[in-house]
Structure 1
Amino acid sequence: MSGQRILEVSDLKKHFPIRGGLMGGTVGNVYAVDGVSFHINKGETLSLVGESGCGKSTVGKSVLRLFPLTSGQVVLNNQRIDDMPAASLRPIRKQIQVVFQDPFSSLNPRMRVRDILAEPIKNFGLAKTRADIDERIGQLMDKVRLPRDAVNRWPHEFSGGQRQRICIARALAAEPDVIVCDEAVSALDVSVKAQIVNLLQDLQEELGLAMLFISHDLAIVEHMTHRVAVMYLGKIVELADRKQLFGQPRHPYTEALLSAVPVPVPGAVRERVVLTGDVPSPIRPPPGCRFHTRCPYAFDRCRKDEPVLRDVGEGHFSACHLNDGAVADNPLLNKLPPTAFRTEAA
């Protein structure tokens, strides 16, 4: 994995105004993303995980510039793109592509696969003659492991997994440096999920792609990612290497998420951390730590002071006041990690 930084996001914010009142003015904001920072290197996968509504898909769409940002910076290949006018973004879109959750709604039902794949090739001027375009389309079908003669079929003639392969081929057609996978496998069957994940890993190794993998499926994330960023209520609360995060989480929310992952060993059980209460509204986030209303370890400081995402050792970042005290007093460090399990007999 190269150390070359491909994508860098700094203090990204996306607030959606709430309209109301007699005059239809702004009466508040939904703080969907409220100060998110991360980077992705060439050939690296960064997974963005969290509960539904935490803002992870909004981060992906903000990076893709599918809507204007409230504030923050997005730098792609050393070029700032967050403040670019729409007209200037066209050549930039070649560098960053997306694979959405639902492959059927992502594909134009009135276009054959050949035309779907030819569109980005033509748009970005990657081939001049019809023969060159056809050869590129054939190579794309080979890469996603579909037969070449399938390019003459319509999207509805494929299974869900095959359609997602077509979406991946379309993303690859532009020869991007970064692919944003927004819940790209969540709508697929379990066996098909594994095939698509393995395909993405093989393509990353072959092409040196950087990936932002947005998912709520931690079992899939553990299998394919290099680093993980955990989001809660619009903010990243923990960011670490895969082994660090799954082996020893340094935030109570991450601990709870990992404890809910199904145990892979028959007859084994895991100590489950059950969170009480509901996720607070992103319209009025709680003061102090946003997680304190559900945290089993919350104390007075958590209700007043917002913790800063900081390095707690070896590039492991966490936003939790528990990490400011002595190791002996940190409940996260003095029990088995949530990924550990025991047999019923024990």
Structure 2
Amino acid sequence: MSHSTIDQTGAPLLQVDDLKKHFPLRGGILGGTTGYVYAVDGVSFDIRRGETLSLVGESGCGKSTVGKALLQLYPITSGQVVLGGQRIDTMSSSTLRPIRRRMQVVFQDPFSSLNPRMRVRDILAEPIRNFGLAKTKDELDAKLGKLMDTVRLPRDAIGRWPHEFSGGQRQRIGIARALAAEPDLIICDEAVSALDVSVKAQIVNLLQDLQSQLGLALLFISHDLAIVEHMTHRVAVMYLGKIVEVAPRRSLFAAPKHPYTQALLSAVPVPQPGAARDRIILKGDVPSPINPPSGCRFHTRCPYVFDRCRVDEPKLQETEAGHTAACHLHDLPPEQNPLAGAASPLH
């Protein structure tokens, strides 16, 4: 776990309020809009300086779309994104340009995210030049050397091409490129999922060290709960375009308060072979984001579903300090709530 200091004073670094991203479906003879993909459908969270928030869920739940919408790679349908007290989702591209420096990204694929026609030196120098962060060639060279040291790559490798590096080394270059802009927040979009197990651990350790050295905030988008448990402060769980649970790491892994989170945790591999595990197998497939179910979106697969779940959409509510879940079970008396005293399937 990272030992960076989370700034608990003042406003959060990033505030996301009711973020929606709906993609239009085109079809018919005239190519008109025939419907929408409700990829992200009302997501709210915040991240403090120096904090890691992990956004987790199955493939297709909308978590990567959240990351791209925050970076303004997609125009958002509605909602608000506030970075450092400034609302950024309504800014023009020219106003947004200097603010982009504060929020950088490390992409999933270290092979396609680096320009194969640029040497490492030029890849890293580009953001420094773009944002005017070095005044002289000597200052630029010093920054480039320091970046290579920071991500633990040899300085003399700066003249090489991306294809001359392994996947893990390329991801270090991707992290160095993000750091070159001197950001406050880095969005890691499945940043370790394409890497081998041993390399994953190295990159996670590197990110944690950088966080404690530089006070960075991280939005860590992942489906790998085993990695998330090692490196996050808080976890937000997404299902079909909505956040269903948000909690501090220990609280979520020890006692999840949403049936979907329980099922996700039950699928995490156990460190000790032969250890007891109650695997929760969800029935059915994830519904389509084009036509999500009414009421609670999880009700079609939930083992505890009752009538209210089919018609009434649950809101995120606090179940204990700092732990919120969107589940009608928490409105029942404790003796009728199967989640009230439930321990995690991991523990």
CA distance in 2, matches of 1:335, 1:94: 44
1:185-200 alignment, distance < 5 Å: 185-200=192-207
1:140 partnered with 2:147: yes
1:72 partnered with 2:79: yes
1:304 partnered with 2:283: no
Equivalenced residue count is 340
1:84 partnered with 2:104: no
Secondary structure at 1:83 match in 2: coil
1:123 is aligned to 130
CA distance in 2, matches of 1:157, 1:328: 61
1:2 partnered with 2:7: yes
CA distance in 1, matches of 2:40, 2:147: 35
CA distance in 1, matches of 2:92, 2:218: 25
Could you tell me how far 1:78 is from its partner in structure 2?
Answer: 0.3
| Structure 2 residue runs without a partner (length 5+) | 1-5
CA distance in 2, matches of 1:271, 1:309: 26
Aligned partner of 2:251 among 244, 247, 263:
244
2:103 is aligned to 96
Asked if 1 retains the 8 angstrom alpha-carbon contact of 2:330 and 2:340, the reply is no
1:28 partnered with 2:35: yes
Could you tell me how far 1:22 is from its partner in structure 2?
Answer: 1.4
Could you tell me how far 1:333 is from its partner in structure 2?
Answer: 2.8
2:295 is aligned to 288
Secondary structure at 1:250 match in 2: coil
Aligned partner of 1:266 among 265, 273, 280:
273
1:343 is aligned to none
Could you tell me how far 1:87 is from its partner in structure 2?
Answer: 1.8
TM-score, structure 2 length as denominator? 0.97
Asked if 2 retains the 8 angstrom alpha-carbon contact of 1:248 and 1:333, the reply is no
Moved over 4 A (4+): none
CA distance in 1, matches of 2:271, 2:53: 23
Could you tell me how far 1:328 is from its partner in structure 2?
Answer: 1.7
Of stretches 85-94 and 75-84 in structure 1, the one that deviates more from structure 2 is 85-94
CA distance in 2, matches of 1:279, 1:159: 35
Deviations 1:6-49 (A, max 9, x none): 10000000000001111111110000000000000000000000
| Matching residue's letter, 2:213 | E
CA distance in 1, matches of 2:287, 2:343: 29
Could you tell me how far 1:140 is from its partner in structure 2?
Answer: 0.3
2:3 is aligned to none
1:165 partnered with 2:165: no
Q: Identity of aligned pairs, percent?
A: 74
What root-mean-square deviation, in Å, do the aligned CA atoms of Structure 1 and Structure 2 show?
Answer: 0.8
1:16 is aligned to 23
Could you tell me how far 1:334 is from its partner in structure 2?
Answer: 3.7
Of stretches 55-64 and 327-336 in structure 1, the one that deviates more from structure 2 is 327-336
